[in-house]
Amino acid sequence: MNVGRRVRVPAPLALPAVAAAVIALIPAFYLATQAFARGAGNVWDEIFQSRTWDLIVRSTWLTAVVTAASIVVGTVGAWVTTRVALPGRAVLLVLFALPLAIPSYLSAFAWISWQPGLEGFWGAVIVLTCACYPYVMLPVAAALRGLDSTQEDVARSLGRTQRQVMWGLVLPQVRPSITAGGLLVALYVLSDFGAVAAMRYETFTWVIYGAYRAGFNPSRAAILSLVLVAAALILVTLESRARGRAGAVRIGSGVGRNRRNTASPRAVVGAVVASLSIIGVGLGVPVVSVISWLGRETQRSVPWADVRGAILDSFLIGLLTAIATILVALPVGIAASRYRSRFSSAVERSTYVTHALPGIVIAISVVYAGIRLLRPWYQKLPLLVLGQLLIFLPLAVAAIRNSIEQSSARIEEAAKSLGAGTMATIRRVTVPLALPGIGAAAALTMLNAMKELPTTLLLRPTGWETLATSIWKYSTVSDYSAVGPYALTLMIVTAVPTAIVTSLTVLRVSRPSSPGRQG
Amino acid sequence: MNDTPALVVDSVSHSFGALGVLEGVSLAVPRGSITAVLGPSGGGKTTLLRAVAGFETPSEGTVRIAGNVVVHDGRSLVPPERRGVTIVPQEGALFPHLSVFDNIAFGLKKRRGSDAEKRVRHLLDVIELGDLADARPSSLSGGMQQRVALARALAPSPALVLLDEPFTALDATLRQTVRDEVVATLRREGETALWVTHDQQEALSVADQVAVLLDGRLVQVADPVTLYREPATKQVAQFVGDAVVLRGTVDHDGVHALCDTGRVTLSRPAVAGPTDIVIRPEQIEISANSVDPNSPSCDGVVCSTRFFGHDGIVDVRLASGFVVSVRVHATLLPAVGECVDVRVNGPVLAFA
């Protein structure tokens, strides 16, 4: 019944929301200023250079191959975990999702230390596919689980074979989820810095970093960033459209009843082989490599003080980023979910702008902003937190918005009719109800901030070393025995929460939703 | 006693875009009474309720609560939280993060202290859930949740309680019991209530006054008996109960009419001439007649029967060919093809 309702966002919510939007627009603003600093002609010259075109071709090729590979692996993974009668499928799904937790630069170094010859295109393809296929697998598995199994029974009763049902009925219905997942993968590949840098495969992010580090041509870095952002924007737009369509599949509207899973010997053998390969390549190689690095460590003593320092720095940065991000995202999320208007959706969209900005681009633009605008903060903690906040703001806003929309607006109306004012309702009802979702968003932000590389590399305060930058520092000089302790710590710190979150999601999907509505 | 009505709705109109949902609705709810707003879904009931509660601002008209103007000509003068109007939503909408006790205490000015404790305990006793004060809403059955929602709405002693189809989420058997309990509670506490429903039996059985809302217009406001016996229009007649509609002609005396079932008496005088005659199924009485179904002295022939246990419906084809449905005791169900005498008891309605 929201049709035609005119709503005004209350001022105590509107002011911080506008502030959040302004903060979110900083990178785009500084990027544009810097790119056009030498005039529009220079922009065209830079773009129409043959080396720029080389870069475009290389980036596009990598993106296309990784996306295709991720779609295949992710769809197979989803099929194995939802449709084949294997014991312990829930555990399997969690294992399949775990590569999400391993930062791409870490698994890239893991592969190189094992097979130095892989450096280059194919190495990048392997590492990025392992990092990305969960983005396809998770939504496709959810869509497969959400499909009404009676549809398939009906099709079978009308004379279709199992294979025909799969290709003609099931696949078309999960295709929107595959598309949405694939676009997400493409976006990830375009913005990834760690894997291509470790594999020394020159794509946009790596070259932008180089141009920035070289220092003599900041506007080239900004111009290349603009090209990258344009490509990312296209992907973001396509992705949000595809996601809308994916939502039309009845995901989450209940458990498929009486689903019979294929237990034919061929399917089971195929599933086991597929599972072992996915786990072996995605999880096995990085884990075994890291452990073998630790084994080399015996030759010299571990610098425990340094490791402890890196852990503390990572935690502190992660915690501050999480707190700051949630505080900035909260008013936007509330306004966007409960006070829908042109104003609130404009504010929300502004915070999504950084979603199209690769981490390295945000980092560079925050450096510019720091030099021009926030000089006292330059190379200090607040600027790093700002950079990280900009990266994770879109995720946090979306998560908060979703968790608020989980609860019915009627509950807040009940609160208002009982005499609670706007802010009191937010404090006493909206936020407490959304707390699990807000907490999850905070935890996820902290986790991602701890393993984030490019922004930390560029913006960390002098003398600070996090787990991520330590791994980077030693790996780039192939000192893997020194990397061991940092890598293992980071893996544990990020893998455990990822496993918990994934298994919770799996459990929630297989349980009847919204408890307590019926007697 | 103060006799200012708890709620006065005066010429309220509202539209969503081009779609008009309320047109010139006027209604007064006296203190301590229950008024039901009865209408089909999409008829504007919920919009009216939300306009009173303050979640919707009607584009025209005035709303007064306990004598104070809260809405006037498209402007909301008092926000929902200061109207003194509480709601019992369709599915309860209890606060899932609070205990039953805290849910009920939510609207109290002071939520701590002995007064609050006393008030909440009293309401817990009233809804007979005294031992579930610390329970979470999710552990309650649907019926219990609805009772807690009512207690929560009553706690701050509102000027008016709004009930929005409060029992649609419950199954049929439970609905009756919970409804009786809720009405008893409202009566005992002397509360004023505006009760929105699409269920005519519910409206007729719970309310002191029923307002029929059809296509955004209040067609009739009356007590349940008057509404059922003397509906203002044929539409209302058909909406508030089962009705058999026959074509007929009003006599020159204006108080009798001739229709397919013979000569009937009208409940109120009508203009002579062709008319629609509305008869309640329970007014029609049939009795077995042993004559040949084809003979001209046969009133009607049974063409089908439906058995419900305690009673049944018999479809009778009248001599004119028109089929009427008659409600009879289950023990009296005639056989299909039998000839029956048809008689109409009591006065009937004529709508020209």
In three-state secondary structure terms, B95 is coil
Out of A110-124, A368-382, B311-325, least confident range: A368-382
Q: How much is the average pLDDT of A128-153?
A: 83
The residue of chain B with its CA nearest to that of A433 is B97
| Rounded Cα–Cα distance for residues A471 and A479 (Å) | 9
Tell me the pLDDT tens digit for each residue of B251-277.
988 889 988 888 899 988 888 889 999
Provide the residue type at A193 as one letter: F
Sheet containing strand B34-38, strands side by side? B85-88, B160-164, B193-197, B34-38, B209-214, B217-222
Averaged confidence pLDDT in chain A? 83
- Top residue of B106, B168, B177 to mutate, by most chain A CBs within 10 Å, is B106
Out of A232-236, B152-156, B312-316, least confident range: A232-236
Looking at residue B207, what is its pLDDT?
94
Rounded to the nearest angstrom, the minimum Cα separation between A349 and chain B is 26
Q: How much is the average pLDDT of A295-313?
A: 79
Q: Select the more confidently predicted residue: A63 or A356.
A: A63
Looking at residue A149, what is its pLDDT?
66
Q: Which residue in A4, A418, A516 is closest to B106 by CB distance?
A: A418
Q: How much is the average pLDDT of A52-77?
A: 92
Q: Which residue in B17, B93, B174 is closest to A414 by CB distance?
A: B93
Residue A518 — pLDDT band, cuts 50, 70, 90?
very low
- Top residue of A2, A418, A518 to mutate, by most chain B CBs within 10 Å, is A418
| Rounded Cα–Cα distance for residues A39 and A36 (Å) | 5
Looking at residue B60, what is its pLDDT?
92
Out of A188-192, B70-74, B170-174, least confident range: B170-174
Report the length, in residues, of chain A: 519
Contact A407 B96 (CB under 8 A): yes
Tell me the pLDDT tens digit for each residue of B99-133.
999 999 988 888 888 889 999 999 999 888 889 99
| Rounded Cα–Cα distance for residues A300 and A476 (Å) | 20
| Rounded Cα–Cα distance for residues A348 and A333 (Å) | 8
Q: Select the more confidently predicted residue: A373 or B342.
A: B342
- pTM of this prediction? 0.76
To which residue do tokens 């703001």 refer? A393
Tell me the pLDDT tens digit for each residue of B145-164.
989 999 999 998 999 999 98
A416: number of CA atoms within 13 Å, CB side?
Answer: 19
Assess B110–A contact: CB distance below 8 Å, yes or no: no
Assess B222–A contact: CB distance below 8 Å, yes or no: no
Residue A253 — pLDDT band, cuts 50, 70, 90?
very low
Q: Is the pLDDT of residue A261 over 90?
A: no
Q: Is the pLDDT of residue B32 over 90?
A: yes
* C-beta of residue A382 within 8 angstroms of C-beta of residue A51: no
Assess B82–A contact: CB distance below 8 Å, yes or no: yes
* C-beta of residue A137 within 8 angstroms of C-beta of residue A74: yes
Above pLDDT 90, what percent of chain A? 23
Out of A143-152, A189-198, A355-364, A482-491, least confident range: A143-152
Assess B93–A contact: CB distance below 8 Å, yes or no: yes
Helices (H), B32-113: 45-53, 100-105
Contact B53 A4 (CB under 8 A): no
Q: How much is the average pLDDT of A21-45?
A: 84
What part of B 121-180 touches A (C-beta under 8 Å)? 136-145, 149, 152-153, 155-156, 162, 169-170, 174
| Rounded Cα–Cα distance for residues A493 and B31 (Å) | 63
Looking at residue A259, what is its pLDDT?
54
Q: Which residue in B53, B90, B142 is closest to A417 by CB distance?
A: B53
Rounded to the nearest angstrom, the minimum Cα separation between B235 and chain A is 27
Contact B169 A518 (CB under 8 A): yes
- Closest by Cα among B151, B188, B149 to B165: B149
Rounded to the nearest angstrom, the minimum Cα separation between B57 and chain A is 9
Residue A94 — pLDDT band, cuts 50, 70, 90?
confident
The greatest distance separating any two alpha carbons of chain A, rounded to the nearest whole angstrom, comes to 73
Looking at residue B66, what is its pLDDT?
92
**Residue-by-residue DSSP string for A344-382:** HHHHHHHHHGGGGS-HHHHHHHHHHHHHHT-GGGTTSHH
Residues of A in contact with B82 (CB under 8 A): 419
Who's near A106: CB < 8 A, 6+ residues apart? Answer: A194, A286, A290, A471, A487, A490, A491
Contact A418 B143 (CB under 8 A): no
Residue A298 — pLDDT band, cuts 50, 70, 90?
low
Q: How much is the average pLDDT of A453-478?
A: 89
Residues of A in contact with B89 (CB under 8 A): 410, 413-414
Tell me the pLDDT tens digit for each residue of B202-235.
999 999 999 999 989 999 999 999 999 889 999 9
Looking at residue B31, what is its pLDDT?
94
Assess A518–B contact: CB distance below 8 Å, yes or no: yes
ipTM value for the complex: 0.73
Rounded to the nearest angstrom, the minimum Cα separation between B138 and chain A is 4
Q: Is the pLDDT of residue A223 over 70?
A: yes
Q: Which residue in A410, A419, A519 is closest to B93 by CB distance?
A: A410
Looking at residue A299, what is its pLDDT?
61
Lookup: tokens for A251: 């995901």
Q: Is the pLDDT of residue A450 over 70?
A: yes
- Give the residues across from B20 on adjacent strands: B15
Assess B322–A contact: CB distance below 8 Å, yes or no: no
Q: Is the pLDDT of residue A402 over 90?
A: no
Contact B152 A517 (CB under 8 A): no
Residues of B in contact with A515 (CB under 8 A): 138
Q: Which residue in A413, A420, A424 is closest to B87 by CB distance?
A: A413
- Top residue of B55, B94, B140 to mutate, by most chain A CBs within 10 Å, is B55
Residue B19 — pLDDT band, cuts 50, 70, 90?
confident
* C-beta of residue B186 within 8 angstroms of C-beta of residue B127: no
Contact A418 B152 (CB under 8 A): yes
- Give the residues across from B189 on adjacent strands: none
Residues of B in contact with A433 (CB under 8 A): 95-97
Q: Which residue in A407, A417, A519 is closest to B86 by CB distance?
A: A417
